[in-house]
Amino acid sequence: MTGSATTIVRNCHVFDGVQDRPYAGAVAVRDGRILAVGPEAGVRAAAPDSAREVDLGGGYVMAGLLNMHTHLSLSLPGPGGDAVSRMSPHSLALYMASGARRTLHSGVTTVRCVAEKAHAEFALRAAIDAGWTSGPRIFTAGRALVCTGGHGHEGSDTLECDGADAFRRGTRAQISAGADLIKVMISGGIAGEHEAIDTPQLTGDEIAAVIETAHAWGRKVTAHAGPAPIIEQAVRLGLDCVEHGYQLTEPVVKLMAENGTSLVPTLIVTRCKDFFDSLGVPEWMQQRSLGAGERHVESYRLALAAGVELMLGSDMPPFQPTEGTTATVRELEHMAAFGLAPVEALRAATIVPARWLGADEQLGTVEPGKYADLIAMDTDPTQDVSALRSLRWVMKGGEVVRDDRTGLRA
């Protein structure tokens, strides 16, 4: 089925992301975009008589998921990560293409890459856009900016800079390569052996240089950050988003809410022992990560109570099998279990990130004119986000790329 024909997706319940509850209806798709949505009779009237039909058997349809913290070239310490780090550029591109395809099949139709090796994601994005390979829509930060020896400095997915001028050049270099946003590492993290989560790694003038330069070029900035003091400094300088936020405090989340600084909590990274074990992640990292879990949840709950804008991001590969589902769905379950209402959790995985990316006129809800990026499952996700475990059908740009009833995995 191609994206150019008119298709009616029918016999389904539609969660459009605008209303809070699904309704019995249908979606008409033409030229890769949503033509009409609503009660089936009205949708049929808007579509030509020759329209094809997809019967979803009473399933629940919603917009495809957006994962805002993705690394398709992730390589953590340990044998699994070492194997990725040793890949040639050609092998790496094929490896990432495989991950992109699996990501799309998992219901994630858009990703925000926040540090990829050797700028390979730019070639991957072009290949996906050209139809050479299957994958999600890609927004990317290019290489993350770090200080010498800073978090993640070991690989080609980061660029070491020192001093304000160097960070300005690093920011411009990512924009020149085609970056949609800028990622900067302003503190230590769980994957750096010679640092702590709360190790400050950039000076105020270095952070300011990144933010000022990126904003001048119309790009937002997100920061890998754990401790409250460094996050506070960055927020006051205009930071747009925080990744992780392991050690937030009430004054800092209040400041984030007041300044419109979003949070991608990545709760799963401090509760994913099965993933670590599968990669042979060393004990020091496992202890640091899993030991931070309780404080991580406390930070998340503080942000939620303060009204900070929350967005879904797994840090683990979006499709990664874990605890009977994927990393993306498991992250969403954590967000809901620790206080976010199911409907708001779904929006944190759809329209909220689309708005942050400046793509809300194209993505994030099931409305006429938007891309026909749709997913379907057996039960109502607005009642329990675990309904996404029953995901069985995926459409991107009007083309069905997964249908479990027919065995299709395009």
DSSP per-residue letters across 156-178:
TTEEE--SHHHHHHHHHHHHHHT
**pLDDT tens profile 103-124:** 999 999 999 999 999 999 999 9
Are 38 and 45 a contacting pair, CB within 8 Å?
Answer: no
Look up tokens 């890998």; give the residue. 224
Cβ distance 328 to 108 under 8 Å?
A: yes
Residue 73 and residue 92: Cα distance in Å, rounded? 7
According to DSSP, residue 313 is labeled -
What was the pLDDT predicted at 4?
57
Q: Give pLDDT, residue 1.
A: 42
Q: What's residue 355's pLDDT?
A: 98
Tokens representing 282 are 């060393």
Per-residue tokens: 326 = 């994927």
Q: Which of 81, 61, 47 is nearest to 15 (CA)?
A: 61
Collapsed DSSP state (helix, strand, coil) of residue 243: strand
Q: What is the pLDDT of residues 216-248, one digit of tens each?
A: 999 999 999 999 999 999 999 999 999 999 999
DSSP state of 133: S
> How are beta strands 52-63 and 321-322 bridged, if at all?
unpaired
> Residue 185: beta bridge partners?
224
The residues pairing with 159 across neighbouring beta strands, listed in sequence order, are 145
SS3 200: strand
Beta-carbon neighbour count of residue 124 at 10 Å?
26
Amino acid at 103: T
Sequence-separated (6 or more) residues with CB below 8 Å from residue 352: 262, 309, 310, 311, 364
pLDDT beneath 50: ranges in the chain: 1-3
Please report the domains of the chain, with CATH numbers, ordered by start residue.
7-64+364-409 (2.30.40.10), 65-356 (3.20.20.140)
Q: Strands 393-396, 399-403: parallel, antiparallel or unpaired by DSSP?
A: antiparallel
Helices (H) and strands (E) in the chain, counts: 14, 19
Rg (CA), the chain: 21
pLDDT at 2: 43
